[in-house]
Structure formats: structure tokens, C-alpha cells
């Protein structure tokens, strides 16, 4: 699930690759994540232990920011990765993104 702070849930996808430095991970058109973000030299400016990493994601469903899915009391976390366990939020995103209990993982 992808959550945009202050807006709501905007995407549902499956991770397809392990974390890689953003200057090495390529997106569908062949550019790197760093290039796609207009930050091609971002990691070059930093020591290796401060590099930014990203994972590949196969997006199953996404919404424009203006159509983000939320409700009063929705669980949201500013951490990059967390497990959704709040029952109301889990039910909400399953319905909003049409995810079955047997969804591809």
C-alpha cells in the first residue's frame, strides 16, 4: 500500500525486487529511479552508507492524489515500511482497492 501523508492511500502493489541503490534500479522505460527523479547524481554526492535505496513494485491499482482513499481514523504511519494490522484500515483498503483475501503476494 502506498500512503500519501494528508491525503490517503493512493496505490496497491507487489514488491518485485530487493532494495537497490536508486542510481542502479531501473524503471520500465530503462531509466534509473535517480534519473526519473531528476537526481541522477544524488548518491554520487554521498558516502555509500548514506545512499538512497528503492524497491521495484508491480502496481496493481492506483488512484490520482485527488482521489486518494481515506476515512476518519485511518491508520497511517510515516515510516517507509510498516505492516497494516488495524482491522478497520485493512477492511477499508481491501474494499477501496478491491483486494481479495487471496490477493497475489
Segments forming the whole domain that contains residue 85: 1-16+56-100
d(CA 49, CA 37): 20
Residue 105 falls inside a structural domain: no
- Segment 10-62, tens digit of pLDDT: 999 999 999 999 999 999 999 999 999 999 999 999 999 999 999 999 999 99
Contact 14, 105 (CB under 8 A): yes
The gap between the terminal CA atoms of the chain, to the nearest Å, is: 12
Q: Determine how β-strand 57-62 pairs with β-strand 8-15.
A: antiparallel
The pLDDT value given to residue 92:
92
Sheet containing 57-62: which strands, arranged edge to edge?
2-4, 8-15, 57-62
Instruction: Say yes or no: 44 and 31 in one domain.
Output: yes
Cell numbers for 29: 522505460
Residue 25 lies in a domain: yes
Asked if residue 105 has pLDDT above 50, the reply is no
User: Which tens digits make up the pLDDT trace of 74-98?
Assistant: 888 777 777 888 899 999 999 999 9
Q: Are residues 66 and 46 in the same domain?
A: no
Domain count for the chain: 2
Statement to judge: residues 62 and 89 lie in one domain? yes
pTM comes to 0.72
Amino acid at each position: 500500500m502506498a500512503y500519501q501523508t494528508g491525503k490517503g492511500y493512493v496505490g496497491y502493489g507487489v514488491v518485485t525486487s530487493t532494495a537497490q541503490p536508486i542510481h542502479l534500479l531501473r524503471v520500465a522505460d530503462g531509466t534509473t529511479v535517480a534519473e526519473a527523479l531528476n537526481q541522477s547524481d544524488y548518491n554520487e554526492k554521498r558516502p555509500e552508507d548514506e545512499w538512497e535505496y528503492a524497491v521495484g513494485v508491480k502496481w496493481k491499482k492506483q488512484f490520482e492524489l485527488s482521489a486518494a482513499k481515506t476515512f476518519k481514523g485511518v491508520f497511517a504511519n510515516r515510516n517507509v515500511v510498516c505492516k497494516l494490522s488495524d482491522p478497520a484500515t485493512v477492511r477499508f483498503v481491501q474494499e477501496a482497492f478491491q483486494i481479495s483475501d487471496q490477493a497475489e503476494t
